Every structure is written in C-alpha cells, then in structure tokens.
Amino acid sequence: MNVLVYLVPIALALGLFGLAAFLWALKSGQFDDLDGAGWRAISDDDLPEDKRE
C-alpha cells in the first residue's frame, strides 16, 4: 500500500488543478457569453489577411 503515499497526493493535486482552472475561467469572464465563445473560436481574425479562407 506504499503506492498510496504518492498516488493520493497526485490525484488530489490534479483535482485541485482542475478546480483552480475552472475558478480562473469563471473569474476572467469566460462563462459570461456561452453563445459567442463558440463563434469567436472559429473566427479568422488572428491570421494575417493572406492566410484567411
């Protein structure tokens, strides 16, 4: 059972990391406009003019 000594902390740390990421996303307003986010992802604005389709 010695494996628990590092597996349990790793599991908890990963979970906490996920929670922190979620809280950060919430705080930075990523859940304010759930409809718009999908469209922004496929917009080509970040590419230079000649690379756009």
Partner 1 sequence: MTESQDLSHFVRHPADGVAAMDLVVNGVYCGACIVAIEKGLGKEAGVRGARVNLANKRVTVEWDDGALEAPVILERLEALGYPAFPFTAEAADSVEAQEEKRLLRCLGVAAFGAMNVMLLSVSLWAGAENDPNAATRDLFHWLSALVALPCAAYAGMPFFESAARSIRAGALNMDVPISLGVILALALSVLQTVTHQHGSYYEGAVMLLMFLLAGRLLDQRMRRRTRDYAINLSAMRADRAVKLTDDGEARETPIAAVRPGDLVLARPGERIAVDGTVEDGRSEVDQSLVTGETAPAPVSPGAPVYAGTLNLTGALRIRVQNAGTGTFLDEVNGLLVNAVEQRSSYVRLADRAARLYVPVVHVTALLTFFAWLALGAGWQPALTIAITVLIITCPCALGLAVPAVQVVAAGALFRRGLILHSGEALERLADSDSVVFDKTGTLTLPRPVLANVADVAPADLALAGRLALASRHPLAKAIVEAAGAQSPLTAEEFPGEGVSGEFKGSPVRLGSVAWVAAEREAAPVAERWPDASLIALALPGRAVVFAIRQALRADAAAVVAELARERQVEILSGDREPAVALAARELGVTRYAAGLKPADKIARLKALKEAGRRPLMIGDGLNDAPALAAAYVSISPISAAHVAQAQADALFLGDCLAPVADAMRISTKARRLMVQNLWISAIYNAIAVPLAVLGFVTPLIAALAMSGSSVVVTLNALRARDPNRPRA
- Identify the residue among 3, 6, 28, 45 touching partner 1 (CB under 8 A): 45
- Identify the residue among 2, 3, 39, 51 touching partner 1 (CB under 8 A): 39
Q: Which is nearer to partner 1, 27 or 50 (CB)?
A: 27
Using CB atoms within 10 A of its CB, is residue 29 exposed (0-12), middle (13-18) or buried (19+)?
exposed
Judged by CB under 8 A, how many residues of this single chain contact partner 1?
Answer: 24
Torsion angle (degrees, nearest 10) of CA 32, 27, 41, 52: 120
CB 30 within 8 A of CB 22: no
The residue ranges that bind partner 1 (CB under 8 A) are 1, 4, 8, 11-12, 15-16, 18-19, 22-23, 26, 31-36, 38-40, 42-43, 45
